[in-house]
Amino acid sequence: MLIKNMRANKDKAFGEFLLRVGNRIQPTIHDDLILLPEKMVIRYESEKAYEDALIDVLLYLEEFLNTLLPNGLPPHKLVLKVNCPIILLRKLDLSNSLCNGTGMVCKRFDNYVKHDEIIIGQHALKQVLFQEFHSHLQKMKDILF
């Protein structure tokens, strides 16, 4: 018998639901179809209400996923300090030598801008600026729907 769901510590109700399913004590409808608790169901009332409810669930899911630290994967949040080395993993701007493997060092941080310096290759000592992107709920709504 399962006693505690270690992966669902943040959401106690969902963790308890999973334990009831795993222990085969969650009520079923028929043919072993699990009866979902009412608070886990998103009812369709209108397009707008459904979209808002879905966005709330997706944002909650993102927050939950960001708390997980599976073995072998780094944390979701990247914290940089001045003079820390960086290696690009994507091609951003080939004409300025910003491609896979470009080595850089963080020089300073301003509001929404990160100042870096390329440290190897043909463009060594070249200053590069990166804009920080902040997503907001309203922007997300506009993009998704």
Tally of domains in the chain: 3
pTM of the model: 0.42
What are 40-89's pLDDT values in tens digits? 787 888 888 888 887 777 766 666 777 777 777 777 677 788 898 988 88
Structural domain for 16, as ranges:
1-41
In a domain, 139, yes or no: no
Percent share of the chain, pLDDT over 70: 77
Regarding whether 49 and 64 lie in a shared domain, the answer is: yes
User: Does 133 have pLDDT greater than 60?
Assistant: no
118-132: b (≥16 Cβ within 10 Å) or e:
beeeebeeeebeeee
- The model's confidence at residue 30, banded by pLDDT at 50, 70 and 90, is confident
Regarding whether 50 and 20 lie in a shared domain, the answer is: no
Regarding whether 57 and 36 lie in a shared domain, the answer is: no
Regarding whether 36 and 1 lie in a shared domain, the answer is: yes
60: CB partners within 8 A, 6+ apart? none
Closest by CA to 87, choosing from 96, 76, 95, 98, is 98
Q: What are the φ/ψ torsions at residue 29 (nearest 5 degrees)?
A: -85, -65
Regarding whether 98 and 64 lie in a shared domain, the answer is: no
Q: What are the φ/ψ torsions at residue 24 (nearest 5 degrees)?
A: 60, 35
